């Protein structure tokens, strides 16, 4: 995504690659990102991607620079990244949490994934990716917990699953009706029983076909790739990660219930202090409740 944005800027402005990777070009690109009112987090990601590409371009000979130019440009990029890091740290919490609208746009695209594929193999992948996105967006589970989940952890009667969190502690996470339906559609289509007598021991989310015909487990990194891909399809420019969906679940659940202890249990937080960060994200709701109480 970062390189695609830089490439688009080069073409839009008619800037040659060498000029774009010069210090003046990098500063102009950084100013353009700021003018687009992108968040500091998004700009940091774009500049980090540009930094990696700059190092590659120098090593591979795509651009030719003197030792002095190399040092100066690296220093300037480093300064940009440090400034953006400080801006991210200073940003209020609500500015660092994912926007509900962005998550909803990703979910809207994910719903349609199986309808946009031409063959059975790709349909299985689309069903899996849809189930993954909705599991992230409704359970509040950590990506590592979903990646490590096996089918025997599923609790069909409750539309839930048992996961192992930090410190090996187990808890139950719940799927929405829609998310549970998508998960079952994916697993039914995958038909583990055809490949294995112990289908319940197979990973819930797996690669299309693993060794010996069994689904192979996915890494947390793979979840991140899927999220970024679907977010790009949805036209979401802010940086969404699997953890963004955990924030989304926490914020919605706490806003609806007002119960920090219950939200803490849902997320598997060891300390309520960690959960309380979500209690201060909706100032408008706090103002409304205050007026209801004191202006009655």
The predicted-structure confidence for 139-178, as pLDDT tens digits, reads as follows: 989 999 999 899 999 999 999 999 988 777 889 899 999 9
pLDDT of residue 200: 76
End-to-end CA separation in angstroms for the chain: 51
Which residues of the chain does CATH 1.10.443.10 include?
Answer: 100-274
pLDDT of residue 132: 96
pLDDT of residue 160: 92
Q: Is the pLDDT of residue 248 over 60?
A: yes
State the pTM of this model.
0.63
Longest alpha-carbon distance in the chain: 71
The predicted-structure confidence for 23-69, as pLDDT tens digits, reads as follows: 888 999 989 988 887 777 778 888 888 888 888 888 888 888 888 88
pLDDT of residue 247: 85
Region at 235 (left for phi over 0; alpha for psi -120 to 50; beta for the rest):
left
- What does CATH list as the number for 100-274? 1.10.443.10
CA angle in degrees (0–180, nearest 5) for 129-131-137: 105
pLDDT, greater one: 238 or 264: 264
Closest Cα partner for 141 from 226, 251, 242, 272? Answer: 242
């Amino acid at each position: 995504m970062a390189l695609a944005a830089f490439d688009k800027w080069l073409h839009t402005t008619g800037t040659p690659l060498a000029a774009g990777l010069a210090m003046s070009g990098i500063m102009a690109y950084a100013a353009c990102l700021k003018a687009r009112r992108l968040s500091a987090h998004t700009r940091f990601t774009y500049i980090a991607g540009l930094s990696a590409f700059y190092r590659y371009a120098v090593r591979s000979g795509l651009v030719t620079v003197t030792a002095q130019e190399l040092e100066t440009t690296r220093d300037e990029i480093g300064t940009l990244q440090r400034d953006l890091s400080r801006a991210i740290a200073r940003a209020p919490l609500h500015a660092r949490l994912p926007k509900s609208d962005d998550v909803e746009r990703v979910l809207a695209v994910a719903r349609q994934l199986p309808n946009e594929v031409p063959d059975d193999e790709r349909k299985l992948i689309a069903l899996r990716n849809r189930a993954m996105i909705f599991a992230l967006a409704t359970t509040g589970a950590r990506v590592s917990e979903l990646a490590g989940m096996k089918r025997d952890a599923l609790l069909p009667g409750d539309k839930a699953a048992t996961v192992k969190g930090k410190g090996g502690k187990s808890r139950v996470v719940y799927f929405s009706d829609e998310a549970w339906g998508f998960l079952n559609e994916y697993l039914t289509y995958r038909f583990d029983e055809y490949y294995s007598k112990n289908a319940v021991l197979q990973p819930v989310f797996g690669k299309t076909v693993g060794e010996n015909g069994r689904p192979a487990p996915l890494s947390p990194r793979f979840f991140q790739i899927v999220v970024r891909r679907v977010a790009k399809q949805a036209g979401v420019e802010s940086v969404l990660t699997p953890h963004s969906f955990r924030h989304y679940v926490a914020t919605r659940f706490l806003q609806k219930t007002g119960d920090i202890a219950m939200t803490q249990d849902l997320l598997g937080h060891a300390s309520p202090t960690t959960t309380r960060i979500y209690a201060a994200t909706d100032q408008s709701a706090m103002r409304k409740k205050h007026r209801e109480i004191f202006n009655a």
